[in-house]
Amino acid sequence: MDPAPRLYELVLENGRSASPFVWRVRYALAHKGLAFESVPLGLTDIPTVLGGRFRTVPILEHGTTAMAESWDIVQYLDRAFPQRPLFSGPAELQMVRLVDTWLLLEVGRRLLPLYLLDVHDAARPEDREYFRRSREAYFGGTSLEALAAGRAAQLPAVRAALEPLRLQLAQAPFLGGTAPNFADYVVLGLFQWIGSVCTLPPLAGDDAVLRGWLERGFALYDGIGQDNRLRPLFE
Amino acid sequence: MDPAPRLYELVLENGRSASPFVWRVRYALAHKGLAFESVPLGLTDIPTVLGGRFRTVPILEHGTTAMAESWDIVQYLDRAFPQRPLFSGPAELQMVRLVDTWLLLEVGRRLLPLYLLDVHDAARPEDREYFRRSREAYFGGTSLEALAAGRAAQLPAVRAALEPLRLQLAQAPFLGGTAPNFADYVVLGLFQWIGSVCTLPPLAGDDAVLRGWLERGFALYDGIGQDNRLRPLFE
């Protein structure tokens, strides 16, 4: 029998996990009740493991298999460990992919630049130069400080973009209905990540629908990640 | 045995069907292979049927049951006619609801005001005054002509909002994967409706991904609605 899967994770200076894509895989492992071995990596450590095959985390290693895309990983988990499937079938999987794409384009793309400076400041000191250089290059040379400048004024657009979630969650406790599905884990992962670094709360204090859902989502699986979050998500 | 379901639809002056919500139900009936009796109504006819219980179409009547919300209708269809289910289970249903909410907020809300004048002009003459009065009141007294003025300049935002669909459809022939699911029908219904009234194509001529998917979606079920569309959807 293969050993437990090994999850290569990204860690900050304080040892806490920091990647929305790692977080969705941690939720998926917990959903399936799978024990795993965590391998903490700093950003600049990634090329030093598994022969430098991968450039991003999460990386899942299981027996002789290894992969580094969160969507590949969760589909692999459902094949290798059929118990408590993450997806009822291909149509649900495709729908969650569409939700994930929406989240990236409408929410992530607005949110990410506002918090990169916070990620930088929370990263291990030896990772910071690489992080700054690679992210500033991605944004055409704009400094992390300039991306974060006046960010409070941009939060209303982020909050407005989350409106489909509020309408959905006004009708059911989880995005998946009475129980969470992988769409919940995808969005919860984003907030687990933000909550580990943000020095400005992204959400409004009176956002009762999202607050209730985040509390339910963070309480799942014996309070997954409750030691991870350091920062308030609500004003 | 109950008779075939009866679908109350909205018709334009030329007898063609004109409601995105009716269209998704027409797709659902075709998906399940169900024959149905169509009852064409003009807008101002709705209060005259079924004792005036409903204010909107689609209305589905089946035996002694009648309902007028498209989501209620499709869930009823899966209960009353279990063959070829529309949803693999509650999680897929919730995911499609989330996609529907996204579509309404990010696409429908931008698109609708630009085309209300076209709907007005295509409506039965006896429906036009009511249509204009009710829609202009909804938009705070703005005239249909003012809502449509300069609309070409607003189409880029509509097209950008459709980007999650393009990314999804670059990976699979339908939103549901290899076969269409109700998310396809929800979005196809929007374009069946637009295509029956629009005097300005909403989509760019080089939008190959959406064009391919719309052609596949319009070809489903022996070319459902192929006699309905009068207008080009692509520039």
The tokens of A144 are what?
């992390």
pLDDT digits (tens), chain A, 235 positions: 568 999 999 988 887 777 999 999 999 999 999 999 999 998 889 999 999 999 899 999 999 999 999 999 999 999 999 999 999 999 999 999 999 999 999 999 999 999 999 999 999 999 999 999 999 999 999 999 999 999 999 999 999 999 999 999 999 999 999 999 999 999 999 999 999 999 999 999 999 999 999 999 999 999 997 776 678 999 9
Question: What Cα–Cα distance (Å) separates residue A144 from each residue in A120, A151, A154, A155?
Answer: 8, 11, 15, 17
The distance of B73 to chain A (nearest Cα, Å) reads: 18
Residue of A nearest to B96 (CA): A95
- B46, B54 contact by CB (below 8 A): yes
The CA distance from A138 to A126, in Å, is 20
Residue type for B146, please?
A
- Please list every residue in chain B whose beta carbon sits closer than 8 Å to the beta carbon of residue A179: 91
Alpha-carbon distances, residue B120 vs B109, B115, B234 (angstroms): 18, 9, 21
Instruction: Look at residues B135, B112, B219 and name the one whose alpha carbon lies nearest to residue B174.
Output: B219
* Nearest chain B Cα distance for residue A71, angstroms: 13
Q: Is B98 on the interface with A (CB under 8 A)?
A: yes
Q: Each residue of B176-211: b (16+ CB within 10 Å) or e? A: bbeebbbbbbbbbbbbbbbbbbbeebbbeeebeebe
**pTM (predicted TM-score):** 0.95
Find out whether A220 and A27 touch, Cβ atoms under 8 Å: yes
Separation CA A190–CA A36 (nearest Å): 21
State how far the Cα of A15 lies from the Cα of A17, in Å rounded to an integer.
7
B96 touches chain A (CB under 8 A): yes
- Find the closest chain A residue to B180 by CA distance: A91
- Cα separation, A199 vs B131, whole angstroms: 50
Chain B contacts of A95, Cβ < 8 Å?
A: 92, 95-96, 98-99, 175-176, 181, 183
Q: Does A88 touch chain B (CB under 8 A)?
A: yes
pLDDT digits (tens, 9 = 90+) for A65-97: 999 999 999 999 999 999 999 999 999 999 999
To the nearest 10 degrees (0 to 180), the angle between helices A182-197 and A20-31 is 130
Task: Specify the residue for token string 């639809």.
Answer: B9
Residues of B in contact with A69 (CB under 8 A): none
Nearest to A165 by CA among A134, A210, A128, A212: A210
> Given CB atoms, is A105 within the 8 Å cutoff of chain B?
yes
Rounded to the nearest angstrom, the gap between the alpha carbon of residue A1 and the centroid of all alpha carbons in its chain is 30
Which of A159, A180, A165, A150 is CA-nearest to residue A31? Answer: A180
Mutation for testing the A interface, residue in B31, B75, B95, B178 having most A CBs under 10 Å = B95
Partner residues linked to B61 by β-bridges: B6, B66
Question: Under an 8 A CB cutoff, do A181 and B94 touch?
Answer: yes
DSSP 8-state code for residue B50: G
B172 close contact with A: CB closer than 8 A: yes
B230: helix, strand or coil: coil
Instruction: Decide if B93 touches A, using CB distance below 8 A.
Output: yes
When scoring B71, B78, B87, B92 by the number of chain A Cβ atoms within 10 A, the one with the most, hence best to mutate, is B92
Query: In a structure prediction context, what are the per-residue pLDDT tens digits for chain B, which is 235 residues long?
Result: 568 999 999 988 887 777 999 999 999 999 999 999 999 998 889 999 999 999 999 999 999 999 999 999 999 999 999 999 999 999 999 999 999 999 999 999 999 999 999 999 999 999 999 999 999 999 999 999 999 999 999 999 999 999 999 999 999 999 999 999 999 999 999 999 999 999 999 999 999 999 999 999 999 999 997 776 678 999 9
Ordered structural domains, chain B, with CATH: 6-80 (3.40.30.10), 90-223 (1.20.1050.10)
B160 and chain A in contact, CB less than 8 A: no
DSSP code for B210: H
Count interface pairs A-B at CB distance under 8 A: 92
Closest to B195 in 3D by CA, of B152, B151, B233: B233
**Which positions in chain A touch B169 (Cβ < 8 Å)?**
none
Residues A13/A42, Cβ–Cβ less than 8 Å:
no
Test B178 with A96 for CB contact under 8 angstroms.
no
Query: How far does the CA of residue B93 sit from the closest CA of chain A (Å)?
Result: 8
Return the structure tokens found at A194: 């933000």
Q: Is B211 on the interface with A (CB under 8 A)?
A: no
